[in-house]
Chain A
Amino acid sequence: EDKVVQSPLSLVVHEGDTVTLNCSYEVTNFRSLLWYKQEKKAPTFLFMLTSSGIEKKSGRLSSILDKKELFSILNITATQTGDSAVYLCAVGAYLNTGNQFYFGTGTSLTVIP
């Protein structure tokens, strides 16, 4: 059974801390791994990873994929209260019926001033 597991389920940190969010997966016909940020509305795209070992960065956020060990991490440095959100990991796979995405349950991050 295909699955995506995120850890921790929730995290509370103080402003300025660095956090690491984890995503492990068991998905056949893996094509891509995506990270989304969800505040109290629709998920918004952060990163897409397809190759192992290549770090993607956007400001204080970065992510890397390990296709051998089947996991990805999302790092946020110098956290701010605006980083408070649920972070979703999704894996894209190709099936006979077309492309499909499998989502983890998310990590809820709360940043305290």
Chain B
Amino acid sequence: NAGVTQTPKFRVLKTGQSMTLLCAQDMNHEYMYWYRQDPGMGLRLIHYSVGEGTTAKGEVPDGYNVSRLKKQNFLLGLESAAPSQTSVYFCASSAGTLEQYFGPGTRLTVT
């Protein structure tokens, strides 16, 4: 039982490049979330999904897209990376408003 896994763990991008972050969970959770964490800002919700094939915007969705084609996977895409997207990205899953289980995070630097 791996819980929530994220790939990659680290990535450096140049401005304008694109990339996809993958989140996978093996707990059969309906809900999955993508957060970014910046110093002094806490965790801010980017997008979330309440089930396979559904997505919804969170607090800071601009510049990101997501897809949930399979229940266990939640992908976060950056189409044209900007330095302001330098952050640590966490994926989480939950069964409703019960506790969230977090992945180990992806540290992204955009130069």
Query: A residues touching B (Cβ–Cβ < 8 Å)?
Result: 31-32, 34, 41-45, 48, 88, 90, 92-94, 97-106
Contacts and interface: CB of A to CB of B under 8 A. Distances in A.
A104 B40 CA distance: 10
A103 to B, nearest CB: 4
B99 A105 contact: no
B43 interface: yes
Contacts of A97: 50, 56
Which applies to chain B's interface (DSSP): helix, strand, loop or mixed? strand
B50 A101 contact: no
Nearest to B44: A103
Contact of B42 (A48, A99, A106): A106
Which applies to chain A's interface (DSSP): helix, strand, loop or mixed? strand
Contacts of B43: 43, 88, 90, 103
Contacts of B90: 42-43
Nearest to B91: A42
Interface residues of B, number: 27
A34 B41 contact: no
Interface in B83-111: 90, 94, 96-105
Given A88-B42, A97-B56, A42 B97 contact: no
Interface of B: 31, 33, 35, 40-45, 48-50, 54, 56, 58, 90, 94, 96-105
A94 B96 CA distance: 9
24 contacts: A31-B97, A32-B97, A41-B104, A42-B90, A42-B104, A42-B105, A43-B102, A45-B99, A48-B99, A88-B42, A88-B43, A90-B43, A94-B97, A98-B48, A98-B49, A98-B50, A98-B54, A99-B94, A99-B96, A101-B45, A101-B94, A102-B45, A103-B44, A104-B42
